[in-house]
A and B are shown apart, each in its own frame.
Chain A
Amino acid sequence: MLLLKMAFRNLWRRKSRTILTMIAIGFSYGLLLFFVQFTTGSHEGMIDTGVRMQAGHVVVQAKGYSEERKITENISKPELVLQQIKEIVPDSNVAQRIFLTGSLSSSSGNTILDNLVGVKPAVEKKISQIPEKLIKGKFLSGTKGEIVIGATAAKLLKVDLGMKVQLSISDVNGNIKRSALRVRGIFKTGGLTVDRGYALISLKQTQELTKMDSAVTQLAIFTDLASSEKIASRLKTKLNTTELDVLHWRDAMPMLAQMLWVDTISMYVFLFIILGIVSAGILNTVLMSVMERTREFGVLKSIGMSPWRIFMLIMYEAVFTAIIAIFVGMILGLSLSYYLSIHGLDPAVFVEGEQGMEAAGIPMTNLMYSKVTLYSVVWTAISVIVLSVLSALPPSIRAFRIKPVKAVRDL
């Protein structure tokens, strides 16, 4: 106990130096904590958008569908599969979808659709972000002959709500099918290709046009992100047939997964740089304080304090410094992170003016929210403490080795 008392009091012998070090460590830690939480939060936001538009947390599709995304590679009896899914994840939302490519034309123009999605409006409403992005009109009601298109497409076609557009797609036999649809809603996500080439029609009509009967190309399961991996593997064991593929969102959207991975790596690089600065700060401060006190350690050793105790004394000093700094930094980092977890940050601040921010076919225009978690607070704090122990190692070893004769000699 006396040792802890000594360590704590020793911190304040050089007040300004200690406080300066603490501020530096605290600031770095706060920044680090915020950065980690913001990265986590914004990644989850992007995954969420991606999952809602293109896949699910877990996706079930026909074997071989991934290769060319042909509608002939479909799930012919989706209701049966759905039942099996519900047995494993009863409280999930499962969307049945058909993804198609096609083209739209009007009297004054035409445009290609990269993602024409046939959906069940009632289910899709619970999942899709499109209803929130509508600038005009409404989401699909379920009656035939409706389409929801993007703002860019509407502009290219020079159409407005209620006006007719001509859809051309090919059916399972490769024959071109045309159908006249009315514009029910127009959305704007800010994503360039999405606002031009993403459109929604009803599943039933898609099935009729393509002659797919009750088949779909995708069953998208929405649960929560954290347990998605576990659910994916459970579904894999259950649905692992020769016809079906179960994909985690990472495999369903490899481009997005890769992009996030790269971003995560750069977060760790940043983290390492910050930790490097922290480490240098602690090493420097502790080393100086050890060198100044050579004589004192000599005295302590003469009166019988073991080298190990001296070693621990220095360690305690370093760890105390880190802990106090962490508390200060935590207040800083958490308040910033908490603010952005409520209010969000407009990604437009990262990019100059231009519209159309998109990554891997997913619009990146939603507000980015930070995610405050206890886990991130704990692991970053532990890293800083472990780091401070490591950085205090050289000076502690130095103190460990100081010869007791120093007490008498260096007057």
Chain B
Amino acid sequence: MSKNIIKTQAVKKTFEQGKIKVRALRGIDMEVKKGEFTAISGPSGSGKTTLLNMIGCLDNPTSGQVEVAGKEVSKMSKTQMANLRLHKIGFVFQAYNLVPVLTAFENVELVLALQGVDKKKRKKLCLDILEEVGLKELASRRPAEMSGGQQQRVAVARAVVAKPALILADEPTANLDSETGARLLEMMRKLNKDHNITFLFSTHDKMVMDYSSRLISLSDGMIKNDILKQQN
């Protein structure tokens, strides 16, 4: 008996550039349950990023409804959306995720600080999560002093630290070599299992698709395939 973290209904998104209309999403209906580790694949321009943005409350759909953690998003104000992101959603982007002037520790701490968690508790949570992603030793380094893989692990730690309902990751391994990418995925899979956090990826990466428990393929702004794999 697992409830839905994400529910979209007939989500459409049309970008208008002058006279040209780009129909990035053409009616997406999908549901994601708690604890799923889902990958969205599809050719470039198929609408993966656009879909993640709708789910992540970064952008509003042209029509249709998006529900995240039981809340209807489309009627929310900007501040309400910011609040939902802060408390319910973690983000990992392709690159440049981190605040350059903050250390690894502070980058992770930022989310908790914004949530108003007190300092002592923040410290413990941050050190624990950095330990989990294997970066405790690099806690006081700034992003510029870390490798791309290390930076992505900090980004994952930041996304996970507040135990959000959902983590959205837009091509998190795209800038990493396959070995580093694999380790990042391994780590995320472990966090997914240990903390029962829902992950939703977009990816071109075959390996990410292999790791996922569910694979949704997009094509031309529509869902072409939705395969629930055997849990391993």
Q: Which residues of A contact B (CB under 8 A)?
A: 1-2, 5-6, 9-10, 13, 295-296, 299-307, 309, 403-405, 407-409, 411
The 6 lowest CB-CB distance pairs between A and B, nearest first, are: A304-B86, A9-B101, A304-B85, A404-B58, A2-B113, A405-B58
List 23 A-B pairs, Cβ < 8 Å. A2-B110, A5-B102, A6-B102, A295-B96, A299-B98, A302-B85, A302-B91, A302-B93, A303-B85, A303-B91, A303-B110, A303-B159, A304-B82, A304-B83, A307-B78, A307-B79, A403-B59, A404-B85, A405-B59, A407-B93, A408-B53, A408-B58, A408-B93
Chain B residues with CB under 8 A of A296: 96, 99-100
B109-140 Cβ-contact flags toward A at 8 Å (1 or 0): 11101110000000000000000000000000
Interface size of B as a range: 35 or more
CB-CB nearest in chain B for A3: B113
Contact indicator B59/A299 (Cβ below 8 Å): no
Chain B residues with CB under 8 A of A301: 82
Contact indicator A304/B87 (Cβ below 8 Å): yes
Q: Is the interface of A mostly helix, strand, loop or mixed?
A: helix
The reply on B170 being an interface residue by CB < 8 A is yes
- Of B78, B82, B113, B170, the residue contacting A408 (CB under 8 A) is B170
Chain A residues with CB under 8 A of B109: 2
- Of A299, A302, A306, A411, the residue contacting B56 (CB under 8 A) is A302
The reply on B97 being an interface residue by CB < 8 A is yes
Chain A residues with CB under 8 A of B91: 299, 302-303, 407
Chain A residues with CB under 8 A of B158: 303
Task: Using known A-B contacts A5-B106, A411-B94, determine if residue A309 contacts B58 with beta carbons closer than 8 Å.
Answer: no
Chain A residues with CB under 8 A of B90: 303
Contact indicator A306/B59 (Cβ below 8 Å): no
Chain B residues with CB under 8 A of A6: 99, 101-102
B32-61 Cβ-contact flags toward A at 8 Å (1 or 0): 000000000000000001001100101100
In the bound assembly, the distance between CA atoms of A296 and B90 in angstroms comes to 16
The distance from the CB of B133 to the nearest CB of chain A, in whole angstroms, is: 17
In the bound assembly, the distance between CA atoms of A301 and B78 in angstroms comes to 10
Chain A residues with CB under 8 A of B114: 303-305, 309
The reply on B95 being an interface residue by CB < 8 A is yes
The distance from the CB of B122 to the nearest CB of chain A, in whole angstroms, is: 10
In the bound assembly, the distance between CA atoms of A403 and B94 in angstroms comes to 18
In the bound assembly, the distance between CA atoms of A304 and B49 in angstroms comes to 19
Chain A residues with CB under 8 A of B159: 303
The distance from the CB of A368 to the nearest CB of chain B, in whole angstroms, is: 48
In the bound assembly, the distance between CA atoms of A303 and B85 in angstroms comes to 6
Chain B residues with CB under 8 A of A409: 49
Task: Using known A-B contacts A10-B101, A13-B101, A407-B58, determine if residue A303 contacts B111 with beta carbons closer than 8 Å.
Answer: yes
Interface centre among B85, B94, B98, B115 (most CB of A within 10 A): B85
CB-CB nearest in chain A for B115: A304
CB-CB nearest in chain A for B88: A304
Task: Using known A-B contacts A2-B110, A2-B113, determine if residue A299 contacts B99 with beta carbons closer than 8 Å.
Answer: yes
CB-CB nearest in chain B for A309: B114
In the bound assembly, the distance between CA atoms of A303 and B156 in angstroms comes to 12
CB-CB nearest in chain A for B96: A295
Interface centre among A1, A5, A305 (most CB of B within 10 A): A305
Task: Using known A-B contacts A302-B91, A304-B111, A309-B114, determine if residue A408 contacts B100 with beta carbons closer than 8 Å.
Answer: no
Contact indicator A300/B99 (Cβ below 8 Å): yes
The distance from the CB of B218 to the nearest CB of chain A, in whole angstroms, is: 16
Contact indicator B101/A306 (Cβ below 8 Å): no
In the bound assembly, the distance between CA atoms of A296 and B52 in angstroms comes to 19
In the bound assembly, the distance between CA atoms of A305 and B114 in angstroms comes to 7
The distance from the CB of A298 to the nearest CB of chain B, in whole angstroms, is: 8
In the bound assembly, the distance between CA atoms of A5 and B59 in angstroms comes to 30
In addition to A304-B87, A306-B83, 7 A-B residue pairs with Cβ atoms within 8 Å of each other are A1-B113, A2-B109, A6-B101, A303-B111, A305-B86, A306-B79, A407-B91
